[in-house]
Chains A and B, each alone.
Chain A
């Protein structure tokens, strides 16, 4: 990319519309401010962008060169031309969605997005039905917002997954549920979190376990019961 030094404001276009961005802003940030829709799964405005879901692909023309970039990390510059829904963009987004659908065919957010792009069924085989799409929102939220760093990525390639270190409950998990809340595909449940937290769900008592009034999802259990598992 031909880099020209600039300061302050950058005038450029998104889908032909003249917009203004500021130094350090990304295409996605400007687009959202302007009400231009770009789909994302791994982006959250409170977190550092990560550019792994590849859904925010847009076409950017700088000078004579046009290429696909991830708009969540591409910083704006004066005079660039951004197109968010060309044939090439749509084709690539469809390919990404098909792959996501092949991994998480039951996740409503994926199905909805896929349907919007006219995909009902992925042509790829379902190898492992896993709602987790490795967007890293939970890992990043745990690090950047909670500051606990209780979970991280484990392994590589097709084995890559999210979990606590050493595959055991993390002593740093405070059971805040941020990861549950932020997960776009509900791949982490409150149950997963409460397993690792030393909170109310493991409080010792002898009487019959009542339903948890906060999560409603599980019963308060005695330590002796928890130990049996």
Chain B
């Protein structure tokens, strides 16, 4: 099967070499593209459709259904502030507000420099260390408002290395 017209990046196509060319690989393929680009570019979705022989309408259906996929570029680091019951009681709302102020973004948005995406989530299963914040795969417990700036700084620096 030849490459579909209007291809921009070769990369999405290379990523697709890693999955089996089957309908059932749809989510796996989208996950890989999401991980690589931090969002699902339109061309990539069309490439997936062509490669796996799935209609574009169905690719878009899946891409918009799962919150793990994003159609807008996400930040390098994903900040998940837990607003579950335990964290809420421990003042997670204030923590979220502090992140909003420090990062100068609203919930669900990405900083202008593309470094951070701020999200609120309901319970990440760490109630014993509430209020908890998960950044990428790391979990931070007992977060206090005055620690927020430090935490952000750590991730900013880690990227500069």
* A interface list, Cβ under 8 A from B: 139, 143, 149-156, 164-166, 170, 172
Contacts and interface: CB of A to CB of B under 8 A. Distances in A.
B49 to A, nearest CB: 8
A154 B60 contact: yes
22 contacts: A139-B57, A143-B55, A149-B55, A149-B56, A149-B58, A150-B57, A152-B55, A152-B60, A152-B61, A154-B61, A154-B64, A155-B64, A156-B64, A156-B65, A165-B55, A165-B59, A166-B45, A166-B56, A166-B60, A170-B56, A170-B57, A172-B56
A166 B63 CA distance: 10
Given A166-B42, A172-B55, 4 more contacts: A149-B57, A165-B45, A165-B55, A166-B56
Interface residues of B, number: 11
Nearest to B71: A166
Contacts of B60: 152, 154, 165-166
A139 B58 CA distance: 10
Nearest to A154: B64
Contacts of A152: 55, 57-58, 60-61
A151 B64 contact: no
Contact of B57 (A155, A156, A165): A165
Nearest to A152: B57
Interface of B: 42, 45, 55-61, 64-65
A12 to B, nearest CB: 36
Contacts of A153: 61, 65
A156 B69 CA distance: 12
Contacts of B42: 166
A113 B60 CA distance: 33
Contacts of A150: 57
B31 to A, nearest CB: 17
Nearest to A156: B65
A170 B57 CA distance: 8
A32 to B, nearest CB: 30
Contacts of A154: 60-61, 64
Contacts of B61: 152-154, 165
In this complex, the member of B55, B57, B61, B64 whose beta carbon has the largest number of chain A beta carbons within 10 angstroms is B57
Nearest to A155: B64
A164 B45 CA distance: 14
Contacts of B45: 165-166
Nearest to A160: B65
Contacts of A164: 57
A182 B151 CA distance: 56
In this complex, the member of B42, B56, B58 whose beta carbon has the largest number of chain A beta carbons within 10 angstroms is B56
A39 to B, nearest CB: 28
A149 B57 CA distance: 6
Contacts of B65: 153, 155-156
Nearest to B55: A149
Contacts of B59: 165
B42 to A, nearest CB: 6
Contacts of A139: 57
In this complex, the member of B42, B45, B58, B61 whose beta carbon has the largest number of chain A beta carbons within 10 angstroms is B61
